[in-house]
A and B are shown apart, each in its own frame.
Chain A
């Protein structure tokens, strides 16, 4: 019967299809993109070096970021709605503040810091017979709804007959075409070019740039990393750390500076604002990330905590030790005065 014939034909085709599918499944399975949670296990981490996603690291970074409710919930450009007023008892007010803190914590979730993604060069088949069939390439996207975007098949058939997997930029563009994400454009906005970045930094709008970058690019794309490092460099140069304090980008900034070992300016800045606890957290984070440095070994041998950590760090590692020691002395004098008074 016709049904049997079609079944046989389908079976033959299915075995072919199975082989093609297997070769397509040699995709590098990247970890799915999620916002950092403290208990996430990074499959690519070394055992020796602490990664951005470790629970301890994340904890310290959240403490340094701070929780300034005024700044987190400052007016964003939104549609104008008339404000609502509610009459509350003290308890209800406390509950509302608690809720606001929870929401602020969610808004302060740090975007992930991932190593740069490696370009895709997989060729699925080379059919020289097809050479010269057309002047344009065919790009095939799989629109099945339940596949995560990282595992989607996006395949290009070139005019010379080569069937290859699409590069990361092509993938991002096509996934945006068929599964549009809010706020993302097909071509990157011109703000991410070098000259325009400089202009925006002179206007102190680093946070807006970072928010746009987060929406537009994938966290492991080269553009994302380039824009972020340019922003952090500029902030470090001018010492404008306050712009990012109590936003979700502060953790990324701190991590970048830690890996580059240029935390001195940040510690000095914190001491100026008299945020001693933050400075201590930062130094302990530094020791966690660079356990082989002199100050880390000294600290672990002396089991120091608090202001002593800062002293050890000031003596061993930093170039501006003078300022840090002065600030520490001033702090101790203040503490002594307030204790006596």
Chain B
């Protein structure tokens, strides 16, 4: 080990300092940095709020992270907006350091225009449209049947 020592559990003492060499030194066997969601405010039921976070892969979802890069509020506010904040400066840095992104983060970045659109976003949109058409035609058929029954 070139940089500072490790504790007896093999977890590096100085978490934030040696990111550039971590891939080579494999302190966390096969561990890598991810940009992912971490649930915040878990003391409130039925009110999710996510932080977009750079953390080691093996860490717990809500555990210690390297840096917070933004937030995502999945429930729309009064103006029917879902607020997402992204620190593009630091996201660029972490991606430059070799961080991976999870699917939801990649989808959000695609929606923002920072990444190209994720294929699953398009697939989900098509599925959603098919669903709404089904329910629309379903209700139309139901209305027609209701009228027929009323006539009869």
Among A28-36, A95-103, A134-142, A314-322, which stretch is in contact with chain B? A134-142
Contacts from A to B (Cβ < 8 Å): 3, 6, 10, 13, 16-17, 20, 24, 124-125, 127, 129-146, 153, 155-157, 161, 163, 174, 177-178
Q: List 26 A-B contacts (CB under 8 A).
A: A3-B98, A13-B116, A17-B114, A130-B121, A130-B125, A132-B129, A132-B132, A133-B121, A136-B81, A136-B82, A138-B82, A138-B84, A139-B81, A139-B84, A140-B84, A140-B111, A140-B113, A141-B86, A142-B88, A143-B86, A144-B87, A144-B88, A144-B89, A145-B89, A146-B89, A155-B112
- B114 in contact with A139 (CB, 8 Å): no
**B14 touches A (CB below 8 Å):** no
Contacts from B to A (Cβ < 8 Å): 23, 70, 76, 80-90, 95-96, 98, 108, 111-117, 121-122, 124-126, 128-129, 132
Write out the residue numbers on chain B whose beta carbons fall within 8 Å of the beta carbon of A20: 113-114
Give me the 7 closest cross-chain CB pairs, A-B, nearest first. A133-B125, A136-B76, A144-B89, A140-B112, A132-B129, A139-B81, A143-B87
Write out the residue numbers on chain B whose beta carbons fall within 8 Å of the beta carbon of A136: 76, 80-82
Write out the residue numbers on chain A whose beta carbons fall within 8 Å of the beta carbon of B85: 140-143, 178
Write out the residue numbers on chain A whose beta carbons fall within 8 Å of the beta carbon of B126: 129
- A139 in contact with B70 (CB, 8 Å): no
- A133 in contact with B128 (CB, 8 Å): yes
Contacts A6-B98, A133-B125 hold; do A141 and B84 have CB atoms under 8 A apart?
yes
- B125 in contact with A129 (CB, 8 Å): yes
Contacts A17-B115, A136-B76 hold; do A142 and B86 have CB atoms under 8 A apart?
yes
- B115 in contact with A13 (CB, 8 Å): yes
Write out the residue numbers on chain B whose beta carbons fall within 8 Å of the beta carbon of A10: 95-96
Write out the residue numbers on chain A whose beta carbons fall within 8 Å of the beta carbon of B90: 144
A140 to B83, CA, bound (A): 6
Write out the residue numbers on chain B whose beta carbons fall within 8 Å of the beta carbon of A134: 128
Write out the residue numbers on chain B whose beta carbons fall within 8 Å of the beta carbon of A138: 81-82, 84, 108, 111-112
Write out the residue numbers on chain A whose beta carbons fall within 8 Å of the beta carbon of B84: 138-141
Write out the residue numbers on chain A whose beta carbons fall within 8 Å of the beta carbon of B23: 3
- A131 in contact with B82 (CB, 8 Å): no
Min distance, Cβ A136 to any Cβ of chain B, angstroms: 4
Write out the residue numbers on chain A whose beta carbons fall within 8 Å of the beta carbon of B89: 144-146
Contacts A13-B115, A129-B122, A155-B113 hold; do A141 and B128 have CB atoms under 8 A apart?
no
Which applies to chain A's interface (DSSP): helix, strand, loop or mixed?
mixed
Write out the residue numbers on chain B whose beta carbons fall within 8 Å of the beta carbon of A127: 117
A6 to B98, CA, bound (A): 7
A168 to B90, CA, bound (A): 26
- B87 in contact with A142 (CB, 8 Å): yes
Contacts A137-B82, A139-B84 hold; do A132 and B116 have CB atoms under 8 A apart?
no
- A163 in contact with B98 (CB, 8 Å): no
Write out the residue numbers on chain B whose beta carbons fall within 8 Å of the beta carbon of A178: 85
**Which has the most chain A C-beta neighbours within 10 Å: B111, B113, B117, B125?**
B113
Min distance, Cβ B124 to any Cβ of chain A, angstroms: 6
Write out the residue numbers on chain B whose beta carbons fall within 8 Å of the beta carbon of A161: 125
Min distance, Cβ B129 to any Cβ of chain A, angstroms: 4
A131 to B121, CA, bound (A): 11
Contacts A10-B96, A127-B117 hold; do A135 and B80 have CB atoms under 8 A apart?
yes
A178 to B72, CA, bound (A): 12
- A131 in contact with B129 (CB, 8 Å): yes
Min distance, Cβ A65 to any Cβ of chain B, angstroms: 40
- A132 in contact with B86 (CB, 8 Å): no
- A16 in contact with B116 (CB, 8 Å): yes
A13 to B113, CA, bound (A): 12
Write out the residue numbers on chain B whose beta carbons fall within 8 Å of the beta carbon of A131: 125, 129
A157 to B115, CA, bound (A): 14
A60 to B124, CA, bound (A): 64
- B122 in contact with A163 (CB, 8 Å): no
Min distance, Cβ A133 to any Cβ of chain B, angstroms: 4
A24 to B23, CA, bound (A): 33
- A141 in contact with B125 (CB, 8 Å): no
Among residues of B, the one whose C-beta sits closest to the C-beta of A17 is B114
Write out the residue numbers on chain A whose beta carbons fall within 8 Å of the beta carbon of B81: 136-139, 156
A155 to B85, CA, bound (A): 10
Among residues of B, the one whose C-beta sits closest to the C-beta of A124 is B113
A131 to B90, CA, bound (A): 31
- B113 in contact with A163 (CB, 8 Å): yes
Min distance, Cβ A13 to any Cβ of chain B, angstroms: 7
11 additional A-B pairs beyond A124-B113, A131-B125, beta carbons within 8 Å, are A3-B23, A13-B116, A16-B116, A17-B114, A127-B117, A132-B128, A136-B80, A136-B82, A138-B81, A156-B81, A163-B113
